[in-house]
Amino acid sequence: MNLNQNHFELFGLPALFAVDAAALEARYHELQREVHPDRFAAAADAERRVSMQLATRVNEAYQTLKSPLRRAVYILQLRGVDPGLETNTAMPPDFLMEQMGWRERVEAGSEEPEALVRLRDGLRDESRKVYEKLHDQLDEAGDDEGASQTVRALMFYAKLDEEIEDKLAELET
Amino acid sequence: MALLQISEPGQSPEPHQHRRAVGIDLGTTNSLVATVRNGIATVLNDHEGHGLLPSVVRYLRDGRAVVGREAQAEQARDPKNTVVSVKRFMGRGLKDVTHVENCPYDFVDSPGMVRLRTAAGVKSPVEVSADILKALRARAVEALGGELLGAVITVPAYFDDAQRQATKDAGKLAGLNVLRLLNEPTAAAIAYGLDNAAEGIYAIYDLGGGTFDISILKLSKGVFEVMATSGDPALGGDDFDHRLFCWVGERAKLAPLSAEDTQLLLIESRAAKEFLTASAETRISTQLGSGEAVDLKLTQEEFQDMTRHLVAKTLGPTRKALRDAGLEVTEIKGIVMVGGATRMPHVQQAVAEFFGQVPLTNLDPEKVVALGAATQADVLAGNKRSGDDWLLLDVIPLSLGVETMGGLVERVIPRNSTIPVARAQEFTTFKDGQTAMSIHVVQGERELVSDCRSLAKFELRGIPPMAAGAARIRVTFQVDADGLLAVSAREATTGVEAAIAVKPSYGLTDEQITRMLRESFDHAKEDVHLRALREQQVEGERMLAAAETALRDDIDLLSAEEAAALRAELEALRKTLSCTDHRTIRSAVERVNRATETFAGRRMDRSIKRALAGKKVETL
């Protein structure tokens, strides 16, 4: 496998934020059918080793392209843009206010599963809109700076979503 | 042995020789071995016609191990030397074992895995499991008329790295070529899915003798994709027996029991549980060695009431698996029930209530795992033409992480990642001139190291001395298709490969395996040379089979001279197979190995190109 190929090239897809999920999955299965270690279980050691490396690479590429957030970060990296996920933590004040609002509501409803599920669904509706904005920034406007900012905002949403899920899990047990 | 057919280019390949491969369900209570014959997966029976081999090993003073029914019969008479449910001890320390107070064994708490002192010496759970596997291997060799190319051994999906490694070690110790460790619910899904041409999302609910697994799989067009898995590695039918055993003790107001009486009552409890599966009431009546008599009446309803909390315990992991898969209950098309314990009516009721549909019970819950494993072994051995087979995508059940400052865990690979998977993580030094550092790898979902399972401690040495924070050590965590972890490290700024001293917190070193192998020969009075010869013969046959497939599919990648040279080596190897010196075979195998290296590289390239071109295999 050409290791210089990027994930999009490997999957034969255009390097865009908008992906055809069905095509991505079909291609993933096609690639794994060729390289998966199960096809080489009775083969020589060298072949088994290479197969594991290639299958690992295909899995990594698939997971990256499947997740919208990871895909966006990856596209920015391909364009030579550092989205500054670790370094740039300065967010606009109104965004931070909004986040605090969400957190307060999660805190207030943290004992009731129904309230948490409602909050989570609301959060997801909200982040869907943000993803649409990201799509415009990456695929239409070519606004990498704006996209980086949006990605950082979406990280907050993802974190909050995860926290709600964890709370829900705790309440169930 | 029949000569292998190698076809000339352009000719249609001859149907190749069937390779002997088996699937083994190494269960807590019972174990099975199955194979594919004439395209149909079948459980191999013993001489009395039993498919199930009780997972019981009794050790005798002369060093012999008695396995199965015969050992089980002595369980109450010789509890100390008769090991039952050994799967619960695999990869576990003494403190991890539940109900240890009712185990009659003489435990030796060694670092890592617990061991048992028996009449035949101290045994690790790996050795006991190997004795069960040896019995199954012997059964298969006899039934199939020759040594096995390899075996697929099943493990609970929720088994961690230590438990998986222990299982693979047991396979090696039993002289098996372990083609793959396969998750039990996944094996069941293969058997069910192929049998019923199922498409859609299925839940596999697997309550065995000692473990509970729940896996959510998507089945579509020849792809079995695990979306999420969860479970409880210490919950199973044994716990229901144990609960009933406690109830008997309370009701009959028994004095503290001897080891013999404990085993006797546990056996009676299990029998009562099984009887209540199809009956409204039963009677537990027995005479204990202490002179006390037990005579109790028990209804199905009473039994269900006292064990309902155990059934409820399976629903937590079930919810978690659904949540991890991002699914609602209503999106599940069917629930496949696996494991003998799912025969209990209140288990089936609870599952039906949870999912809002009646679970599927048309497959034998005790055989489905072995049958699925045999089917997969058949594919892995290369008995199916590509295009005719299926793709299996499985996951790791638990997150892998490393210890950071303050005893916290930093997650490196999250649970439910599709395997094989790798992640690299960078570490740095915190002192000037620091040349070594230790990395602690743990598995689990908790935030504190102390709440997770310690897998290994790595010492990285040979880091070039630099200012604090300047060295960049890149540690790569690779999980293979068996779900087993390997770690490697490299200093990134200088490219110096850091030496790694692996100190596994569990498991066996290669030397330990060698020692155990030697000891097992001594005890079994097995001829070491004969054993080595047999192993090399199998290896030789495996080599020939692999080369045969390669030549069949890709002979055009070789020049006429290369092909002739390779054929000559293969012919030479084939001739050595009937000799009596294993070293002769081994050197022939090594020559073939060398002769096929370039070929292997070219074949791999072709595979990739084919995949990239998106061409279907059948068209080539």
B10-47: pLDDT as tens digits:
333 444 568 899 999 999 999 999 999 988 999 999 99
Q: Is the pLDDT of residue B539 over 90?
A: no
| Test mutation, A13, A39, A116, chain B, max B CBs within 10 A | A39
Contact check, Cβ <8 Å, B19/A42: yes
Contact check, Cβ <8 Å, A169/B320: yes
B135-169: pLDDT as tens digits:
999 999 999 998 899 999 999 999 988 899 999 99
| Test mutation, A9, A10, A27, A40, chain B, max B CBs within 10 A | A40
Chain A residue numbers with beta carbons less than 8 Å from the beta carbon of B422 are: 56, 60
The total number of structural domains that make up chain A? 2
The answer to whether residue A80 sits within a structural domain is no
Contact check, Cβ <8 Å, B603/A32: no
Q: Are B181 and B205 in contact (CB under 8 A)?
A: no
Give, in order, the Cα–Cα distances in Å from B86 to each of B82, B233, B320: 10, 13, 28
Q: What is the mean pLDDT of chain B?
A: 85
The two three-digit tokens of residue B582, written as one number: 């294993």
Q: Is the pLDDT of residue B117 over 80?
A: yes
d(CA B619, nearest CA chain A) in Å: 14
Residue whose tokens read 């056996």: B267
Q: What is residue B108's predicted lDDT score, i.e. its pLDDT?
A: 85
- Please check whether residues A103 and A161 belong to one and the same domain: yes
**Segments making up each domain of chain B, as ranges:** 21-185+369-387, 197-233+323-364, 237-310, 400-510, 527-619
CATH 3.30.420.40 for domain B21-185+369-387, yes or no, is yes
Q: What is residue B12's predicted lDDT score, i.e. its pLDDT?
A: 38
Chain A residue numbers with beta carbons less than 8 Å from the beta carbon of B379 are: 38
The answer to whether residue A105 sits within a structural domain is yes
Q: Is B23 exposed, middle or buried (0-12, 13-18, 19+ CB in 10 A)?
A: buried
Give, in order, the Cα–Cα distances in Å from B83 to each of A171, B88, B111, B129, B345: 40, 11, 20, 10, 29
Q: Which of A12, A29, A165 sits opposite B391 (nearest CB)?
A: A29
Q: What is residue B15's predicted lDDT score, i.e. its pLDDT?
A: 47
Give, in order, the Cα–Cα distances in Å from B47 to each of B22, B138, B140, B142: 18, 12, 12, 11
- Please check whether residues A60 and A108 belong to one and the same domain: no
B353-376: pLDDT as tens digits:
999 999 998 889 999 999 999 999
DSSP secondary structure code for residue B66 in this structure: E
Contact check, Cβ <8 Å, B180/A41: yes
Contact check, Cβ <8 Å, B380/A10: no
Chain A residue numbers with beta carbons less than 8 Å from the beta carbon of B617 are: 33-34
* A62: closest chain B residue by CA: B418
Angle at B63 between CA B60 and CA B64, to 5 degrees: 70
Contact check, Cβ <8 Å, A42/B546: yes
Q: In this complex, how many residue pairs, one in chain A and one in chain B, have their CB atoms less than 8 Å apart?
A: 107
Give yes or no: B87 in active site: yes
The answer to whether residue A2 sits within a structural domain is no
The answer to whether residue A77 sits within a structural domain is no
Q: Active site residue: B206, B213, B232, B260, which one? A: B206
d(CA B323, nearest CA chain A) in Å: 8
Homologous superfamily of B237-310: ATPase, substrate binding domain, subdomain 4 (3.90.640.10)
Chain B residue numbers with beta carbons less than 8 Å from the beta carbon of A165 are: 323
> What is the C-alpha to C-alpha distance for residues A44 and B566, in angstroms, rounded to an integer?
14
Which whole number is the average pLDDT over A110-134?
88
Q: What ipTM did this prediction achieve? A: 0.89
Contact check, Cβ <8 Å, A173/B421: no
Q: Which of B117, B107, B43, B55 shows the shortest CA–CA distance to B86?
A: B55
B370-400: pLDDT as tens digits:
999 999 999 999 887 766 788 999 999 989 9
Three-state secondary structure readout of B132-193: HHHHHHHHHHHHHCCCCCEEEEEECCCCCHHHHHHHHHHHHHCCCCEEEEEEHHHHHHHHHH
Give yes or no: B147 in active site: no
* A60: closest chain B residue by CA: B421
β partners of residue B295: B285
DSSP secondary structure code for residue B357 in this structure: S
Domain covering B527-619: architecture: Up-down Bundle (1.20)
Contact check, Cβ <8 Å, B597/A46: yes
Q: Which of A10, A46, A56 sits opposite B600 (nearest CB)?
A: A46
DSSP secondary structure code for residue A43 in this structure: S
- Please check whether residues A98 and A163 belong to one and the same domain: yes
Alpha helices in B49-124 (DSSP H): 69-73
Contact check, Cβ <8 Å, A172/B421: no
Contact check, Cβ <8 Å, B379/A51: no
User: Which structural domain range is residue A34 located in?
Assistant: 7-66
Contact check, Cβ <8 Å, A47/B603: yes
Residue whose tokens read 């905002």: A153
* A49: closest chain B residue by CA: B480
Contact check, Cβ <8 Å, B420/A37: yes
* B616: closest chain A residue by CA: A30
- Please check whether residues A59 and A98 belong to one and the same domain: no
Over pLDDT 70: what percentage of chain A?
95
Chain A residue numbers with beta carbons less than 8 Å from the beta carbon of B542 are: 42
Least confident of B92-106, B514-528, B553-567: B514-528
The two three-digit tokens of residue B90, written as one number: 């695999």
Query: What is the model's pTM?
Result: 0.83
Q: Are B27 and B155 in contact (CB under 8 A)?
A: no
* A45: closest chain B residue by CA: B593
β partners of residue B560: none
Q: Which chain A residues touch B if contact means CB-CB below 8 Å? A: 1, 10, 12, 27, 29-39, 41-47, 50-52, 54-56, 59-60, 62-63, 165, 168-169, 172-173
- Please check whether residues A129 and A168 belong to one and the same domain: yes
Give yes or no: B95 in active site: no
Q: Is the pLDDT of residue B519 over 70?
A: no
Judge whether B21-185+369-387 and B197-233+323-364 match in fold: yes
> What is the C-alpha to C-alpha distance for residues A8 and A5, in angstroms, rounded to an integer?
8
B480-510: pLDDT as tens digits:
999 988 887 777 776 666 555 444 555 555 5
Side-chain half-sphere CA neighbours of B483 within 13 A: 32
- Please check whether residues A159 and A101 belong to one and the same domain: yes
The answer to whether residue A12 sits within a structural domain is yes
> What is the C-alpha to C-alpha distance for residues A75 and A66, in angstroms, rounded to an integer?
13
Classify domain B197-233+323-364 at the CATH topology level: Nucleotidyltransferase; domain 5 (3.30.420)
β partners of residue B287: B293
* B596: closest chain A residue by CA: A44
Q: The domain that contains A30 carries what CATH number?
A: 1.10.287.110
Classify domain B400-510 at the CATH topology level: Substrate Binding Domain Of DNAk; Chain A, domain 1 (2.60.34)
Q: Active site residue: B184, B232, B378, B403, which one? A: B184
Neighbours of B502 (CB within 10 A): 12
Chain B residue numbers with beta carbons less than 8 Å from the beta carbon of A52 are: 420, 478, 480-481
The answer to whether residue A82 sits within a structural domain is no
Q: The domain that contains A97 carries what CATH number?
A: 1.20.1280
- Please check whether residues A59 and A109 belong to one and the same domain: no
